[in-house]
Amino acid sequence: MEYFAGLDVSLAETSVCVVDEKGAVIMTNSVATEPQALADLLRPYAARLRRVGHEAGSLSPWLHAGLQALGLPVVCLETRHVRAAMAAQRNKTDANDALGIAHIMRTGWFRSAHMKSESSYRLRLLLIQRRNLKRKFLDLENSIRHSLKVFGLRFDRVGRGGFEDAVRKAVKGDLLTEALIECMLRARAALWAEYLTLNKLAVKIVMQDELCRRFLAIPGVGAVTALNVACAIDDPARFRCSRDVAAYFGLTSKRWQSGTSIDVKGRISKVGDGDVRRSLYEAATVMLKRFKGKDAIKSWGLKIAKRRCHAKAAVAVARKLATVMHAMWRDGTYYLGDHGLSDAEAASWMKEKLARVNYARS
């Protein structure tokens, strides 16, 4: 008889449930969230243990790798599927969640989540912290702008470079306001300096990576977009075809169909990594509005914009970029958007693009 285990992982403790192939509960318990502790608890059932399931979460990469190293047949589950399968539960507890995951393992009605490489997680951490510093910087700057409006001080037309001098000049003479604004400006300057440090580190990594340099040949795609896509895909072989990548990033429309009378195609699903989706949308917007050269994807997108609107065209181009970038990675090919370019012209364009990226790095 085969056994199936479900793990409901929390920060300190993990609830464990083991069921047999007929659904009878064999064991329920809770143990510290450590790979070795979980392996020790499951050891009496290891010979017949077919699958051990746990939901994707912040601890999943570390816990999954640890359990695999200890020889357990562990499976990481997509959260949307687990949530849908257990939506009928009357009472939600850690023990009930572990039981539900064990039954999901037993029935086989699940979709496993891809566990990325450690290098991808490290690069993802860099991108997340870079984004966080930028957001905190903007929050602080906007706070200064809006808080001084009560005194009639407006900085709508002041750029980032002259912002500090303009604010200091505006509050000069008011001792209290001058002192507190000075603290805010120092904090703003420190955040900007650290953001630039992480941004230069990201650009440096991109310039040292052959795949990311190939991605930079696409008009509109910068260092952050290239690194975001590379980290999110991690392994191009896990997608059956390149079109699946757009759906993975939430760039395809949702559909609601029932019978012959209802068939609604809605907005894009927005599932998956929001940072990657935003990066691709920004790259598409740059390609459509700022890139002045010839490009097949740009021409296609402009036709959509003329027929529909810019937003829909940008989403369509972002979807196309995701497909193209995966195909470039899978096939080891290069991007040549304007098929009329000679090899020398294509090389010149790529050299110019890399020079601009290197300038941002310096």
Non-local (6+) Cβ contacts of 345 within 8 A are none
Residues above pLDDT 90, as percent of the chain: 78
Cα–Cα distance between 346 and 214 in angstroms, integer? 12
**188: nearest Cα among 246, 145, 231, 129:** 145
Q: What's the mean pLDDT in 245-255?
A: 93
Cα–Cα distance between 201 and 222 in angstroms, integer? 14
Does residue 359 have a pLDDT over 80? no
Residue for token digits 């930079």?
216
Q: What band does 156 get if pLDDT is binned at 50, 70 and 90?
A: confident
Domain spans, the chain: 3-107, 118-208, 218-360
Average pLDDT value over all residues in the chain: 91
Query: Model-level pTM greater than 0.85?
Result: yes
pLDDT value at residue 85: 87
CATH superfamily of 3-107: ATPase, nucleotide binding domain (3.30.420.40)
Q: What's the mean pLDDT in 263-279?
A: 91
pLDDT value at residue 346: 66
Q: What band does 317 get if pLDDT is binned at 50, 70 and 90?
A: very high
Q: What's the mean pLDDT in 67-84?
A: 94
Does residue 360 have a pLDDT over 80? no
